[in-house]
Amino acid sequence: MATNPSDDFGIEIKHLYKIFGYQAQASIERVKQGMSKAELLSRHSHVLGLKDINISMPSGGIQVIMGLSGSGKSTLIRHINRLIEPTAGEVIVGGVDVLKMSPHELREFRRHSISMVFQKFALLPNRTVLENAVYGLEIQGMARGRQVEIAMGWLERVGLKGYERHYPNQLSGGMQQRVGLARALASDAPILLMDEAFSALDPLIRMDMQSVLLDLQKEIRKTIVFITHDLDEALRIGDRIAILRDGEVVQQGTRQEIVMSPADDYIANFVKEVNRGRVIGVEAIMRPFVSVKAGATLTVPLGTSLESAVKRLVEAGLDELVVTDSQGQPVGQLALKSIIATMVTSTVSEASQLVQPRSVAQALLR
């Protein structure tokens, strides 16, 4: 078996089970035969943590694991760095099954390939901001001068330049979490695990930290696994989202797939209040490009939200736009009526029922 993951730091989780109790293996068979989490607890005093989890997390993207309290999301993330041993299954990183690593291999994996940002910050109170930020580099055995250079660079990147000699109790919650993020990034690990990293923060500070993470991700392209119970947060930062309930994946896909095609009533209740115009991109509903009337062309790039597209159409006084790729070539086109239908009625087929779509659009933008 290889001792080091390859340069492709995607994560594959295959048939992962976790059952807490002294007869865990026997309980797997009960679960496979259809026993529910509640039945397993009441009849056998065992707790079903995870049931047959299968998730593919591409390298360089943000994978959100979402669910309510007790859904198994924190249990799942702790299997990736093997803080929790599974009952059965595989966790493969770069072609290497983490669950088969020797103690030495696992130690090196944790030191160099994976970092973690915690909900309660987990800063060392007797260390300054700088000393907290260099901690992972100390564990790696890096020379002191290089430790400080790297840590100072990341502290500046997360907006903490000038605070390096302060102690955690002298900082706000948002600033403490920036220290935790700088510490994780300083180690240059390709995988970043974030367990409810922003949930302890006030709403405005939380949004600010989300923006910091998204801005950094454009450059660093880490494989990020982000745990949250907040749908708005999941939809804002996740390239892909997996929703858990009672230890089981209920649905997974892109934010657009989750919002436009909820798997069941449970997911539908999650997404019913979502502003669809901000989540869904034009590529999700555009039709193939054919042609448009000369002199009446508005173009938007792939990835433009429906809300932004509507605003530009209304401002331009047009009823149709062209979607372009990264080279500026047309790849699709989209009518205002279809956009509004998707934003307010869930299906484009109901577009014909809309009267004066421009008026509807103006109302939506108020």
Q: Give the model confidence (pLDDT) of 179-193 as tens digits.
A: 999 999 998 899 999
290 within a domain of the structure (yes/no): yes
306 within a domain of the structure (yes/no): yes
Q: Sorting pLDDT into bands at 50, 70 and 90, what band is 129?
A: very high
Contacts of 236 (CB under 8 A, 6+ apart): 210, 214
249 within a domain of the structure (yes/no): no
What DSSP element (H or E) covers 245?
Answer: strand 240-245
| Tens of pLDDT, residues 40-98 | 999 999 999 999 999 999 999 999 999 988 899 999 999 999 999 999 999 999 889 99
222 within a domain of the structure (yes/no): no
294 within a domain of the structure (yes/no): yes
Instruction: Say if residues 28 and 69 touch (Cβ distance below 8 Å).
Output: no
> Mean per-residue pLDDT for 12-38?
93
| Tens of pLDDT, residues 245-266 | 999 999 999 998 999 889 999 8
| Strands of 320-324's sheet in order across | 287-288, 330-335, 320-324, 299-301
326 within a domain of the structure (yes/no): yes
Phi/psi of residue 98, each to 5°? -60, -30
- Per-residue pLDDT, 359: 55
The domain total for the chain is: 1
Residue 122 predicted with pLDDT over 90: no
Mean pLDDT, the chain, rounded, equals 88
Q: Which domain holds residue 320?
A: 278-364
307 within a domain of the structure (yes/no): yes
Burial of 142 (0-12, 13-18, 19+ CB in 10 A): middle
348 within a domain of the structure (yes/no): yes
> Mean per-residue pLDDT for 102-125?
89
Task: Tell me the C-alpha distance between 25 and 33, whole Å.
Answer: 13
Angle ∠(244,81,15) on CA atoms, nearest 5: 45
Contacts of 212 (CB under 8 A, 6+ apart): 158, 159, 178, 181
Cβ atoms within 10 Å, residue 262: 18
**Which CATH number covers residue 297?**
3.90.1280.20
